[in-house]
Structure 1
Amino acid sequence: MEAIAVLDKVSYIYPNAKETVLKDISLTINKGEFLGIIGATGAGKTTLCLALTGIVPQFYGGRFFGKIAIAGLDSLEHPVSELARHVGIVFEDPEVQITATSVENEIAFALENLCIPREEILRRIPIVLKSVRLEGFEKKNPQELSGGQKQRLAIAAALALQPDLLILDEPTSQLDPIGSQEVFATVKELKENLGVSIVMVSHAAEEMAEFCDRIALLADGKLQALGTPAEIYSQVELLQQNKLRPPEVAQAFHKIQQTGIHLDRIPVTLESGIKDLEILRSRSQLVSPPVFASSSANLDKPPILSVKNLQHIYADGTEALKNISIDIHAGEYVLIVGQNGAGKSTLVKHFLNLLQPTKGQVLVGDRDTSQLSVSELAQSIGYLAQNPDNQIFNTSVEKEVSFALPFLGYSPKAIEQATTNSLKAMQLWEHRNAHPLSLPKGERGRIVIAALLAMNPEIIILDEPTTGQDYQGASSILEVSRQLHQMGKTVIVITHHLYLMPDYADRAIVMGKGTVLLDAPLRQAYHQVDLLESTYLTPPQSVVLSQYLSKISDRQYPLITPTEFANSFMPN
């Protein structure tokens, strides 16, 4: 096979750093290949991507060893501008890449830099916009797009250059699951139709298993393992040792194998898992489905948060919320889900009085939010925004966490105590003197949670807290949410990642196009598969497997986790 990029014994150290970030990596990327790169935060994935564009070491400096050839060009001898004709890159945070005042200009900008003729630019714009589900947005200002839409625009702009190699660093971390699926599918089509080679860094195990040709596992700067998705993702213990989440199908079948039932393989995609279910039935006994009690202990308490007939129309005429009524009770743990643009963040901003209702009212306890200042509300409600950087403005982590406490009347001693407890609870103690923006995005989210914890509000709202986090980071934030819930706090989490939530939330509110489509106990909501898919959400693979199991066994299995699914089987 023809190679598009060859790395030969590549090592790299950033300027003024002691640690080697990449350690002796040799790897060939083939023409037309879709290579996935996985690894925990700090494994060296982003540095490897930057090295493939020549940005490392040309812009960063530092010490570089070994050799990288991209489309036959040496990455040290050819300037980044020349390499850019062959390799395009899309970063995790689209904000850093988008500069133009309209969607079509964003795509035209890079093409004009490469002196592409005007007719060709006009031909490419609709093609790439269609491929990322942004037709009709040509004239819109990118700043009016949701996070997910901005990411798709960044991908469209890179695709328009028709590079030989397209590098995507966590491109789907801010997208709803169907948006994420579409990016994977789009990228696969580019590979198949245009022969573009793809390198993608992602924590989206289910999609990576389905779409990649090969997976490279990085750990501590080394290439730890390289193989097909079936070879890499079936090694559940290897992934867990490296703090990675295997696809749910692989988790479930691995647990089944551990009970002593013989399996020919560990399936890593939903399709192969459903196929293997028939064989599994013949080699095992089915256990009767468990009876799950619904947790409605909090519903007899008065609501702590009420929304009555809430409507919100933005200045441009967009009706973001349509006649919504919800009661949330003290001590509940509520999940709010829906596609990008479903109205989730708009709803939450009304809880905080950051937006005022066009019609209807919002009550915190029995007080109307229109009568409360934002600072009064902050004593009752702690809020972690989707982009934590918008909430950070101090010069050290410790100052950030303690900032609001004097205004709430805390004594110096109480401030010190609350700040220390918060920093330790969020594993930020050793970073307390660091500048918040010097930490990775995932850590910055934890700083804001630590600041909220110190203020001790009754209600905690986490808006997409797991965006951009690896599995360990996401789990540690959700573990904090569990601790808060156990302390009696009311917790509201907005996320696209349904597979993360079964161990935490007990109720799900599903939103779509500004309305509440469903408000039900979590288990019941997860099994409304068609409804979830209508709002661009993907149910966890365990749910789909258990629905298939219900079909072939004539009994209902309302299961929502790999463990519950695995526990349904016993050796013959």
Structure 2
Amino acid sequence: MSNAAIRGLSITYPADNQPALPPLDLDINTGENILLAGPSGCGKSSLALALQGLIPRVIEAEKTGTLTVNETELEHWTTAQACRHVGILFQDPETQFCMETVEDEIVFGMENIGLSIEEITSRLEHVLEITGLREHRFSRLTTLSGGLKQKAATACLLALDPAVFVLDEPTANLDPKSSEDFIQLWINTAARGNKTLLFIEHNMETGLEYIDRVIALRKEGGVLLEGPPRTVFREKAHILEQEGIHVPEVCRTARRVEQEGQITWDPFPLNLEEWEVQCAQRGIQKRNEPAPDFSAKSPVAPPLIEAENLTFSYGAERILENVSFTLHTGEFAALCGSNGAGKSTLAHLLTGLEQPEEGTLFRKGKESSRYRTEEIMKQTGFVFQNPEHQFICDSVEDELTYGWRMTGSNPEFIRAELEEMLTLFQLREKRDANPFSLSQGQKRRLSAAVMLAGEQELLILDEPTFGQDESGTNALMEMLKKWQQRGGSIIMITHDMELVDRYADKVLLLHEKSTAFQGGTDTFFQQNDLLEKASINIPVSRKLKPWVHSLERQEAPC
């Protein structure tokens, strides 16, 4: 039975020349778990909004084609009826909040669909428990971290209990452990009630074994390919990569060693556990390489930032306590920690947006308090967790050139730099578009491009790859490395340990309100007990290396 039938659905926003979602035909079956993938800007989020009936009922857009859910066209439903059938977890959780506290937000949706007080109370207690939000039930939503906001939005959706869950990047703001827990939560929810799950994800590494069908969309419109995940990632991974779509690390590596004739998988593994079971069954043992030399050399560059015992609170809630670390000129540091650890708050202290209650912050050996705010802002670029917070112009072109124009740069220089940035960040077709009309991935690229266009000596990026496809992430990270090679310093807040392993020189870990670790990435990923406490996962690529070494050195393929 089909939950949703999509026929020729196309969506175009006002003032846009091209449709955000080109014509699409698709069927979504009752009880299916679907992974919807595609490059940034192909219309995945627009499809999600249409499935819930928000387009065109709430969000102005031209919609053509038909969209039927449970054998009824969406136009025939009221908003309350639509919420009972299809629920959406927005890519940016802040956009769906309208109440002050977590509890009020969860209750508000249930009141709107007319549930009884007894049912509201029962569902409230249940979702607070399964999302781990019980201790935050009376917290103001504006004070929560990005990850906790994501959990609050999840609780709101679970409380409504619709037939179809549309999850737009549901784990993007979550730490690795929370991501695993929440995917399992969604899978269990669907299994208990024969629900339909539509995961819209750029980087899904967990839970693939529960996915029934992968659907990949083309940038220019339509379905690129679809099929069971084992078939798609084994036989068609190269097509996905050509389109800039992420292939999970286990699948990418499994496909490579199979193509090299080192092993024939049966079945093709979707996670590390399946990989290890098959290797064990064939008598293959991990071959660990010699441990790296952790006697790191002292940085020769002088300190750019020195933090000594920084402490900060929001009201009565202590967020940071005695945080100390050093960032040297030219270093690329990853700032890591579980949801609510205080990473974004620390970034606000470093940019001068907030002031510490206690402790001292030095910039180039001079107390930060002795700098004027405008001096700090001139020296420091900050890419917000929500890119919309930094947009001030009406077009992508104006946003990119604003800083150069304000400093009186040569018009020829501005034109040349603009064209380069539009190309590098894949925004050429959007140069005249309003920044607020871009997809989440495009907004993210624009916000990073604006900061890279400046002449700051320190860049702080809060989850810069959230909402990015594979090609967008790679382009951004390579630009950051080039910027670092020119002498810039970088602090990147991220939950993506693969990026940390690949690009960062050092790691700053916040845990239990303080600095739990600062040092090189190799050393960091050897701290097993600390990583477990801080909800950090060792990158899958690191875990696979010993197995790959064993396969490469065996005398005969298996």
Q: What is the TM-score with the length of structure 1 in the denominator?
A: 0.87
Q: Which has the higher contact order (CA 8 A, sep 6+)?
A: 2
Determine if contact 1:107/1:157 at 8 Å carries over to the other structure: yes
Identity of aligned residues (%): 29
Answer whether contact 1:22 1:48 (CA < 8 A) is retained. Answer: no
Instruction: State the shift of 1:342 in Å.
Output: 1.1
What per-residue deviation string (whole Å, max 9, x for no partner) do you get for residues 215-263 of structure 1? 2222243233333222223332132123122111111222222333131
Q: Does 1:272 align with 2:274?
A: yes
Q: Following the alignment from structure 1 to structure 2, what is the Cα–Cα distance between the partners of residues 385 and 214?
A: 34
**Alignment of 1:246 onto 2:255:** no
Mapped to 1, the partners of 2:37 and 2:470 lie a distance apart of 11
Residue 336 of structure 1 deviates from its aligned partner by 1.3
Q: How does 1:120-519 map to 2 (within 5 A)?
A: 120-220=119-219, 221-235=221-235, 236-265=237-266, 266-278=268-280, 282=284, 289=289, 292=292, 299-312=299-312, 314-405=313-404, 410=409, 422-519=421-518
Deviation for aligned residue 1:540: 1.6
Letter of the structure 2 residue corresponding to residue 243 of structure 1:
G
- The one-letter amino acid of 1:11's match is L
Q: Which runs of 5+ in 1 are unaligned?
A: 550-563
The one-letter amino acid paired with 1:161 is L
Deviation at 1:132, TM superposition (A): 1.4
Partner of 2:74: 75
Structure 1 253/94 Cα, relative in aligned 2: closer, same or farther at 3 Å? Answer: same
Q: Distance in 2 between matches of 1:567 and 1:376?
A: 55
Please say if residues 167 and 198 of structure 2, whose CA atoms lie closer than 8 Å, have aligned partners that are also in contact.
yes
CA distance in 1, matches of 2:349, 2:321: 13
The whole-number CA distance in structure 2 between the counterparts of 1:367 and 1:15 is: 50
Q: Which residue identity is paired with 2:250?
A: V
Deviation at residue 376 of structure 1 after TM alignment: 0.9
Contact 1:295 1:506 in 2 (8 A): no
On the 8 A contact 2:444/2:468 being kept in 1, the answer is no
* Partner Cα distance (2:440, 2:138) in 1: 31
Q: Is the CA contact 2:311–2:359 (under 8 Å) kept in the aligned structure 1?
A: yes
Query: Deviation digits for residues 515-541 of structure 1, max 9, x if unmatched?
Result: 122222112212334422321222221
Instruction: Using the TM superposition, give the Cα deviation of residue 337 of structure 1 relative to its aligned residue in structure 2, in angstroms.
Output: 0.9
Structure 1 Cα separation of the partners of residues 412 and 217 of structure 2? 45
**How many Å separate the matches in 1 of 2:379 and 2:137?**
42
- 1:253 is aligned with what amino acid? A
What's the offset of the Cα at 1:200?
1.7
Tell me if the contact between 2:39 and 2:243 (Cα under 8 Å) persists in the aligned partners.
yes
Match of 1:7 in 2: 5
| Separation of aligned partners in 1, 2:426 and 2:240 | 23
**Structure 1 stretches of at least 4 aligned residues deviating more than 4 Å after TM superposition:** 15-20, 56-61, 279-282, 285-288, 290-298, 405-425, 564-571
Find the counterpart in structure 1 of residue 49 from structure 2.
50
The 3 A distance-change label for structure 1 pair 567 and 15 is same
Compute the displacement of 1:392 (Å). 1.3
Q: Give the AA of the match of 1:160.
A: A
Amino acid aligned to 1:310: L
Q: Which residue of 2 aligns with 1:560?
A: none
Verify the 8 A CA contact 1:44 1:219 in the aligned structure 2: no
How far apart are 1:38 and its partner, in Å? Answer: 1.6
Q: Which amino acid aligns with 2:253?
A: A
Q: Distance in 2 between matches of 1:169 and 1:410?
A: 40
Cα deviation for residue 546 of structure 1 reads 4.2
Two-structure CA RMSD over aligned residues (Å)? 2.9
Report the TM-score when normalising by structure 2.
Answer: 0.89
Q: Could you list the per-position Cα deviations for residues 28-58 of structure 1 after superposition, in whole angstroms to 9, with x for gaps in the alignment?
A: 412x332221222233322332343344455
Structure 1 residue 272: Cα displacement: 0.6
Q: Is the 8 A contact 1:22 1:47 kept in 2?
A: no
Deviations 1:39-81 (A, max 9, x none): 2223332233234334445555635335x44233233444444
Paired with 2:295 and 2:43, the residues of 1 have a C-alpha distance of 43
